A and B are shown apart, each in its own frame.
Chain A
Amino acid sequence: MSGVAQARSSGRMQRLWCVLRDVAARPSGAVGLSLVGFHILLAALGPWLVPYDTGAMSSGEMLETPSMAHWMGTDHLGRDIASRVMLGGREALIVTGLATPLAMLWGGFTGLALGLAGGRIDEAMMRIVDAFLSLPGILILLVLVMTFGTSNAVLVPTLGFLFGIPVIRVARAATHEVIARDFVAAARARGHGAMTIIAVELLPNVRDTLMVEGAMRWSWMLLAFSSLSFLGFGVAPPTPDWGLMIADGRIYMSLALWGVLGPVIALSSLIVGINLAADALAKSLGIDRARKAVI
């Protein structure tokens, strides 16, 4: 904690480093960061590590038990499960890795701008935000995916847009806490423009809240992405994906347990890892994360 406080006055990168060290020093943070790091490494290096081609089917080796050759067994099409589990998070990480920053950028900026603007524009826009929040997100996602397809060019902007809407609220609320303070009034009196005030006065003060929010949004987005795949509306086969593998493996669960076990452990460990890290981050930055729980 003291490390973070000391760093507050020094450079930005240095502070980020301090926060990261502080997160890693907490047990939950250390576990979380290593899980996330492991998954990112695996997704990045996976294509060079996998023992088999993930699409290679073999009719003679269907639903085989784990062995030396296939150490997680094979699925109902005779594909090597270990290889598919290793690459099953790639699509999810690529899509959410692009869509999360997108959501944070547009949601964060809109929230800051609305909080600063206040008045009627703010009031009217917040009614629209409320309306969007009352719609079931997965439904909008499903309708858009059914209409425009499941390519990443559709998924990234769609997820980015939808998950940015709750960020507007958080950023706006955080702005309201800052805006009443003297330095914003001083900046206004100096005649600074709205953009300058956002960048220089507001952003440094709401950055911590947004960082924690971003980590949480990332995990919700991963959840939505794999749910979509599980329901058969996400990643198209034969691309390996954990959600899809669990959906497929479920049917043969009583015969071949290992078909679901691998993807279940992989997906859970990534999402739990992100949340443990986010929790430690929130504690390091002194933000009460439970208060911001949004289902």
Chain B
Amino acid sequence: MLTLLLRRLVLGAITVVIVSLLIFAGVEALPGDACTAFLEREAQGALLEKCRVDLGLDRSAFTRYLEWAGGAVRGDFGMSAGGTERIATLVTDRLKNSALLAACALAVGVPLAILLGVITGLWRDRPVDLILSTSAILAMTIPEFVSATVLILIFSVWLRWIPGIVVAPADYPISAFFPEIILPIIVLSMVMTAHILRMVRSSVIEVMASDFVQMATLKGVPYWQVVFRHALPSALLPAINVVALTVAWLLGGVVVIEVVFNYPGMGRMMIDAISDRDLPVVQAITLIVAVTYVGVNLTADILTMLLNPRLRTYHMRRR
């Protein structure tokens, strides 16, 4: 068990190192660097040479990678391309806002998804399942900017209940984002509810058909006790991994929603950085999102391992 955990941790660490190499190499491979971006048209001859020496760009790529990765470990991502602000301070506010949005969406989405998933799984192919499952397909496939636009149209333009965009800047306290944050939360939790619901549904159906549930039923255990005591604990286990994927998506993949609602999170910072060709910021955000993804998935795997005795013995037997 311990070796299994260690092995998973080491694999996670290796993935993080490869990711950081990929990000660094990827940005390195792009034409242009901080100096050509900073000097723009005057980027030629002696001026360009001097700038490169000043910023240390004349050193080997490997030295610069070590310096960048070393700084990132300590939470220091260097300066933005303009050379005026520390990336770490810029990112902190954005990270806080993204985390707020993610936490609210999770708080709404996960309980709702599990509830609806269990309902659709237990009443499989009944009207309630058909309606919910079809809505889930709609919710998870319709592009987020489409559902966001429709929601803004209904709640902001027609009913005038909630403002359609967030106007507070990134460094405002959390309370400044209410009530504007409600619409983005609805859009996000709709998509994630749909994903988790489908997973829970399929898992509930599988477990309810399994031998130990039939055994319990045949023993004469009351239906609801079978569901809650026997079936659900193992049926909900796979949901941990889907929730983990969702968390990673919430932190990094919500670019479109943040742009639609003008929400000052990581996603919009990403878009702005790309538009300004601010490569150091792009590097930093990509690394943060990627490490979060690896970390959350790692946590989910370990949690599943700890909570599932079958998986534990299964792996032991295999070795």
Residues of A that sit less than 8 Å from B by CB? 28, 127-128, 130-140, 142-143, 146-147, 219, 223, 226-227, 230-231, 243, 246-247, 250, 253-254, 257, 260, 264, 267-268, 271-272, 274-276, 279, 288, 290-291, 293-295
With known contacts A139-B286, A290-B199, A134–B245 Cβ distance under 8 A: no
**Known contacts A131-B22, A271-B142; 11 further A-B pairs (Cβ under 8 A):** A132-B22, A134-B289, A134-B291, A138-B256, A143-B274, A231-B256, A253-B153, A267-B146, A268-B142, A272-B138, A295-B248
B249 is an interface residue with CB less than 8 A from chain A: yes
For residue A293, which residues in chain B have a CB less than 8 angstroms away from its CB? 195, 198-199, 242
Is B47 engaged at the interface, CB distance under 8 Å to the other chain? no
Distance in angstroms from A98 CB to nearest chain B CB is 21
How many residues of B are counted as interface, with CB atoms below 8 angstroms from the partner's CB atoms? 54
Contacts of A223 in B (CB 8 A): 141, 143
> Do B22 and A135 touch across chains, with their CB atoms under 8 A apart?
yes
Q: Check B286 against A136 for contact (C-beta < 8 Å).
A: yes
Q: Which residue of B lies closest to A255 (CB)?
A: B157
Is B73 at the interface (CB under 8 A from chain A)?
A: no
Whether the Cβ atoms of A246 and B157 lie closer than 8 Å is: no
Residue of A nearest to B22 (CB): A131
> Which of these, A140, A275, A276, A290, contacts B201 with CB under 8 Å?
A290
Measured CB to CB, the closest approach of chain A to B239, in angstroms, equals 11
**Contact at B146–A272, with CB atoms within 8 Å?**
no
Which residues of A sit under 8 angstroms from B157, Cβ to Cβ?
A: 253-254
A274 and B274 alpha carbons, distance in the complex (Å): 31
Interface of B is mostly: helix
A264 near B141: Cβ-Cβ < 8 Å: no
When distances are taken between beta carbons in the complex, the residues of chain B under 8 Å from A254 are 157
Known A-B contacts A139-B289, A276-B137, A293-B198; the reply to A260 vs B253 at CB < 8 A is: no
Query: How far does the alpha carbon of A279 sit from the alpha carbon of B202 in the complex, in Å?
Result: 13
Whether the Cβ atoms of B198 and A131 lie closer than 8 Å is: no
Using a CB-CB cutoff of 8 Å, which residues 139-184 of chain B contact chain A? 141-146, 149-150, 152-153, 157
Quote the shortest CB–CB distance from B245 to chain A (angstroms).
Answer: 5
Whole-angstrom CA separation of A139 from B150 in the bound complex: 25
**Given A135-B19, A136-B253: A227 touches B199 (CB 8 Å cut-off):** no
Which listed residue (A142, A227, A267, A291) contacts B274, Cβ 8 A? Answer: A142
In the assembled complex, the CB of B80 is this many whole angstroms from the nearest CB of chain A, namely: 16
Inter-subunit contact A226/B153 (CB<8 Å): no
B15 touches A130 (CB 8 A): yes
Distance in angstroms from A121 CB to nearest chain B CB is 15
B residues 243-267 touching A (CB-CB < 8 Å): 245-246, 248-249, 252-253, 255-256, 259
Q: Would A134 and B274 be within 8 Å (CB), given that A271-B142, A293-B198 are in contact?
A: no
Mind listing 8 A-B residue pairs with CB under 8 Å? A28-B134, A134-B15, A135-B286, A219-B141, A227-B256, A250-B152, A253-B157, A271-B141
**B158 to nearest A CB, angstroms?**
9
Shortest Cβ gap from B81 to chain A (Å): 14
B310: min CB distance to chain A, Å: 17
Contact with A along B1-44 (1 / 0, CB 8 A): 00000000001001100110011001000110000000000000
What B residues does A268 contact at CB under 8 A? 142-143, 146
**Residue B102 is within 8 A (CB to CB) of chain A in the complex:** no
Q: Is B277 an interface residue (CB 8 A)?
A: yes
B-side contacts of A128, CB under 8 Å: 18, 22
B294 at the interface (CB under 8 A from A): yes
Asked, given contacts A135-B19, A246-B149, whether A295 binds B202 with beta carbons under 8 Å apart, the answer is no
- Contact between A253 and B152 (Cβ–Cβ < 8 Å)? yes
Q: How far is the CB of B215 from chain A (nearest CB, A)?
A: 23
Check if A253 sits within 8 Å of B19, measured CB to CB: no
What's the nearest-Cβ distance from chain A to residue B21, in Å?
A: 8
Give the docked Cα–Cα distance between A171 and B227 (Å). 35
Question: Within 8 Å CB of B256, what residues of A?
Answer: 138, 227, 230-231
